[in-house]
Amino acid sequence: MKKLLLLLMWLSPAIVYAQGFQVNLNGQKQIGMGHTGTGLLQDGASIAFNPGAMAMLPENYLQAGISPLWFKSGFNGAGTNDVAFTKNRVATPFNAYGVWGPKDARWKVGMGVYTPFGGLTDWGNNWQGKYVLESLDLKSIFFQPTVSYKLTDYLSVGAGFIYNYATVDLQRAIPITDPDGNTGQARLKGHGKGYGWNAGVFIKASPEFTIGLNYRSEVKTNIKNGDAMFSVANSAQPNFPQPNTFEAGIPLPQTASIGFGYTASPKLLLALDVNYVGWHSYKELAFDYASNTPTLQDTHSPRNYKDAYSVRGGAQYKTCDKMAVRLGGGYTTTAVKDEYVTPEVPDANRYYLTAGFGYKVTNKLDLDFSFEYEHLFSRTQTNIESNLSGTFKSNVYIPGVSLAYHW
Amino acid sequence: MKTLKNYLYISAALVLLAGCKPSFENPKANKGTADFTRYIAVGNSLTAGYADGGLYLEGQQNSYPSIIAKQMALVGGGKFTQPLFTEAQANGSGYLKLTGFTPTGSPITTTVTENTAVRDQISVPGFGNVILYTKYSGDINNYGVPGIKLQQIMYGPYGNLNGYFERLLPGAPPTNNTTYLDFVTAKDFTFFTDWLGNNDALGYATSGGAGDVLTDKTQFSQLYTLSIDKLTQKGAKGAVATIPDVTAIPYFNTVTVGAILAGVQKANPTVKDLYISARTSTDVNNIIYAPRAATAADLVVLTFPTSKIGQMVNSPAGMVPYGLTPYAPIDNQYVLDANEIALTKDYVTAYNTTIKTIAQQKGLAVFDAFTFLNDIKAHGILVDGVSANSNYISGGIFSLDGVHLTPRGYAIVANEYIRAINKTYNASIPTVNISNYRGVKFPN
């Protein structure tokens, strides 16, 4: 008769990928220059930056790069002395492009494989916010076949179709204690797909001055039949039926960019990009479980993101025919409003500084290094959904290397 | 190529940088105007770390005074020693353990009886049986004695009547004649917490108004004044807590009249009412009980054996089903009826007025447990992604006895104390992470 309504506390899992999950690492030459490239003709990475520029590329390209990423974040609970740090795990955003067209043709075709979104945050299973999140590993790979056409000598256009393959692996603790004092564990693991497109226009306003316009559509990505694994004390397990699956949708946002390139001298190239990211489409995160119980309900977590903007600038100086040094930086506004900051990505306004070095191994082979440092401004928040209260501080360190073969 | 080499060196250096964590400069923790060199905790079962219907080692180790003391140590607080049970006798008095659920979802609890610290049981003439526990001799900072009322702190022979107090005293019954107040103040201290007074109302309430009496309001006020005077006599600062509304605890809100009735009606739809033996007046001196139909305003205790309902029992009207007619109402001891509730609430309000008034006069910090627990009952609480409330078992705050707290509940209380102390004494004792503390343990 002591009828127990076992409405155990179960907050919705919260995948949030913020601006921080927009991984602006689409080409090493571009990263070196503050990740500018919408208005430049650097290499095959134009497939991602501006498909419209592809037909203007003087050569064909086959290239690949990788940017191991260390996201170092710390959390200090409000009023406590305790500080938690993310574990030392490395995400590996990469990019690979192929661009081809006959010599002197007005068109080029290309294929890009790159990772514009993703994130890896691992706080471990014994920190203050473990019931909000232990770890999240989100990967998203865009496959983009692209065509570009040169309308005149000073104007070209291009567009590509995007197929996105995404994987997610989220873990968090459930506040149900077993006889040995262990907490329950939830793990949501799955993969999904989405579609979109990427188009752009490239203008050679003068021999020195170039302009690029780019729009990449929202890519609504759906995860179906993901594994929803819950492990709690046996007596509470019926509240979390196993096996179980989940469905979730992630609207990877649209972006619009305008970029300018200015060749100040044969040795010096300057670039400026302005981006808009349409995060406002991310209103809520919903998880639909195949088997529900009074404890395990479908969840709808408000996100209410706001659009984000960034300004980036960079320069490339050719110290000789074979070598180039690059510098750049930028500033990005956060997509996450106050009270919505979560440990998945403790997003905040950020600035970044980049450096790069290019070396022509042969006339046809470029070796490029890049390094990016990002600093997220300290953010003290109480989350509206979890009441997790404290200060997040994050720095990101991203070295990178690429090889480009061109002919 | 030289530049390339340099670049590689720089890259290597930068990658090493990648090991760098962001840094946090905690504001310098300070003790403010208080001195935590020797902190003592004065109180009853809640202070002792009592949980799941017993006092046992794990509960002691998660007592709110021990949590507070750990945090005080970060601002220069001294050593804090508790009268812990030994590992070999870790189960102390014995306690309740959740061992499963019935098919309808009702919890099954079992009493842990092995590895206890029970050393003897004596019979005190005119009082009853007293269970005695293995003596503790050594430093004490946590003076929490389960069961003690404010009303008893000046009573010399009390050490012969309460096994938890007897355990701390050197003498054996019936020779003990040290009052609780003298015992806790025998050694100098610089800071105290005082959470006495709960049992002055709770004893009456948990016995359904049948087995105990409410401490007289004037006597409460006198003893409270006396004890705070003595505690602050040598300049010690401290924090006190108010007495929770007894109706805010799951002990009174889990087995409800509606739930029992619904269970009966499933088998016998013609049953309209449960009958209880209810107090007819809220006048403390007018103790008359009469049978009447129960309403949702009457609270049934958690320990009521619901199987009694409907059993045929003798009555003035012959054999009748228990609890279903005015001739055999549910016994007084199982129900805190509406008038008893009103009476208890009136007393608790008066006690709390006393506590707050005296605390204000002495400049002490106040943790208003009354308001805090009522708020949790009404709205629940959400901390670090853990939502907790006053529900039995699933709420996470109250232990299996429905009165005392879980480690999570005690940690929440410790943080409230710390906030009150920080505010009053301009200190900055860090709070603890609630997510490190468990709720009820679920069986496998």
- Tens digits of per-residue pLDDT, B81-99? 999 999 999 999 999 999 9
**∠ at Cα B394 (B391, B395), nearest 5°?**
50
Q: What DSSP element (H or E) covers B238?
A: strand B237-241
Is A222 within 8 Å of A200 (Cβ atoms)?
A: no
Query: Using CA atoms, how far apart are residues B321 and A169, in angstroms rounded to an integer?
Result: 59
Average pLDDT (A152-166) is: 96
Q: Is B29 on the interface with A (CB under 8 A)?
A: yes
Query: For a pLDDT cut of 70, what percent of chain A falls above it?
Result: 95
> Least CB-CB distance to B105: which of A3, A173, A233?
A3
* Cβ contact A128–B435 (<8 Å): yes
Interfacial A residues in 306-365 facing B (CB < 8 Å):
319, 323, 325, 357, 359
Is A25 within 8 Å of A366 (Cβ atoms)?
A: no
Length of chain B (residues): 444
Q: Is B361 on the interface with A (CB under 8 A)?
A: no
According to DSSP, the β-strands at B365-367 and B237-241 are parallel
**Residue B27: predicted pLDDT:** 64
Model pLDDT for residues B207-225, shown as the tens digit of each residue: 888 888 999 999 999 999 9
**Residue B5: predicted pLDDT:** 63
User: In terms of Cα–Cα distance, which of A36, A39, A42 is closest to A262?
Assistant: A39
Using 50, 70 and 90 to split pLDDT, how confident is the model at A21?
Answer: low
Using 50, 70 and 90 to split pLDDT, how confident is the model at B12?
Answer: low
Query: Using CA atoms, how far apart are residues B388 and B190, in angstroms rounded to an integer?
Result: 34
**∠ at Cα A97 (A93, A101), nearest 5°?**
170
Q: Which segment of A337-351, A360-374, A385-399, B342-356 scores lowest on mean pLDDT?
A: A337-351
Residue listed under structure tokens 């410790």: B414
Model pLDDT for residues B125-148, shown as the tens digit of each residue: 888 899 999 999 999 999 999 999
- Which residues contact residue B433 at a Cβ distance below 8 angstroms, ignoring those fewer than 6 apart? A77, A80, A82, A128, B384
* B119 pLDDT above the threshold of 70: yes
Q: What's the distance, CA A398 to chain centroid?
A: 13
Using 50, 70 and 90 to split pLDDT, how confident is the model at B9?
Answer: low
Q: For residue B132, which phi and psi values (nearest 5 degrees)? A: -105, 145
* B13 pLDDT above the threshold of 90: no
**Residue A82: predicted pLDDT:** 86
> Least CB-CB distance to A235: which of B3, B100, B106?
B100
Cis peptide, bond prior to residue B174, ω within 30 of zero: yes
**Which residues on neighbouring strands pair with residue A253, listed in sequence order?**
none
**Residue B136: predicted pLDDT:** 96
Average pLDDT (A325-329) is: 96
Q: Is B263 on the interface with A (CB under 8 A)?
A: yes
* A280 pLDDT above the threshold of 80: yes
Query: Using CA atoms, how far apart are residues A297 and B111, in angstroms rounded to an integer?
Result: 34
Print the SS3 string covering chain A. CCCCCCCCCCCCCCCCCCHHHECCCCCHHHHHCCCCCCCCCCCCCHHHHCHHHHHHCCCCEEEEEECCEEEEEEEEECCCCCEEECCCCEECCEEEEEEECCCCCCEEEEEEEEEEEEEEEECCCCCCCCCCCCEEEEEEEEEEEEEEEEEECCEEEEEEEEEEEEEEEEEEEEEEECCCCCEEEEEEEEEEEEEEEEEEEEEECCCCEEEEEEEECCEEEEEEEEEEEEECCHHHHHHCCCCCEEEEEEEECCEEEEEEEEECCCCEEEEEEEEEECHHHCCEEEEEECCCCCCCCCEEEECCCCCEEEEEEEEEEECCCCEEEEEEEEEECCCCCCCCCCCCCCCCCEEEEEEEEEEEEECCEEEEEEEEEEEEEEEEEECCCCCCEEEEEEEEEEEEEEEEEEC
* A203 pLDDT above the threshold of 60: yes
Query: Using CA atoms, how far apart are residues B220 and B197, in angstroms rounded to an integer?
Result: 8
* Cβ contact B23–A74 (<8 Å): yes
Query: Using CA atoms, how far apart are residues A83 and A76, in angstroms rounded to an integer?
Result: 5
Q: Is B441 on the interface with A (CB under 8 A)?
A: yes
**Residue A259: predicted pLDDT:** 96
CB-based burial label for A359 (10 Å; 0-12, 13-18, 19+): middle
Q: Is A70 on the interface with B (CB under 8 A)?
A: yes
Report pTM: 0.90
Model pLDDT for residues A240-255, shown as the tens digit of each residue: 999 999 999 888 999 9
* B381 pLDDT above the threshold of 80: yes
Q: Which segment of A230-239, A364-373, B17-26 scores lowest on mean pLDDT?
A: B17-26
* A6 pLDDT above the threshold of 50: no
**Residue A7: predicted pLDDT:** 34
Using 50, 70 and 90 to split pLDDT, how confident is the model at B283?
Answer: confident
* B14 pLDDT above the threshold of 90: no
CA atoms within 13 A on the CB side of B432: 27
**Residue A13: predicted pLDDT:** 35
Q: For residue B345, which phi and psi values (nearest 5 degrees)? A: -60, -40
**Residue A19: predicted pLDDT:** 43
Using 50, 70 and 90 to split pLDDT, how confident is the model at A30?
Answer: very high
